[in-house]
Homo-oligomer: A and B are copies of this chain.
């Protein structure tokens, strides 16, 4: 369901080939929706069949030809309808938390290592977001209309990663304390 909408969302901004889309889903939109190139090509074929997007073959020399896709008016309408529908909370799937949930089955060191690794990954993600913010989103006064909304999704990522890091620190400190005292 939602992969198709994510593709429409990217195509709303600008026409893209499958390859371009795959790159978008690996950065920018990819920060909150993942998709591999295989999924994207399959979905593009389906959407074209349904008349939601149209593809145009672009002849290129010194490069493979490509197909540029853009939204039809049906596609635009579909996207806007979907945006207006209420969204429920996204289902969480976090394997680290499952591991932690049964952390008492393994040595404490194992769990601390997992937490520290996760902390590093979240710190890296935060740095990525912050450097994007500095480069492209420095002064809200200068943003395009679309820019304001993109900025807010970036702010979401920054909030999210910051709170993960805070939790990691809390969790590590907590486990160290309770293993010293009680374990």
Contact = CB atoms under 8 A, between A and B. Distances in A.
Q: Is the interface of A mostly helix, strand, loop or mixed?
A: helix
Given A29-B101, A152-B171, A159-B163, 7 more contacts: A5-B95, A29-B98, A33-B97, A34-B92, A84-B106, A90-B95, A155-B171
Given A92-B32, A121-B89, A98 B174 contact: no
B89 A125 contact: yes
Contacts of A12: 102, 105
A33 B117 contact: no
Copies in the complex: 2
Interface string A85-108: 011111111111111111111100
Q: Contact residue range for chain A? A: 35 or more
Given A12-B105, A29-B101, A84-B110, A148 B178 contact: yes
A87 to B, nearest CB: 5
Interface string A31-52: 1111000000000000000000
Nearest to A148: B178
Contacts of A79: 102, 105
Given A101-B150, A110-B83, A92 B166 contact: no
A87 B79 CA distance: 35
A101 B159 contact: no
A105 to B, nearest CB: 6
Interface string A5-24: 11001001100000000000
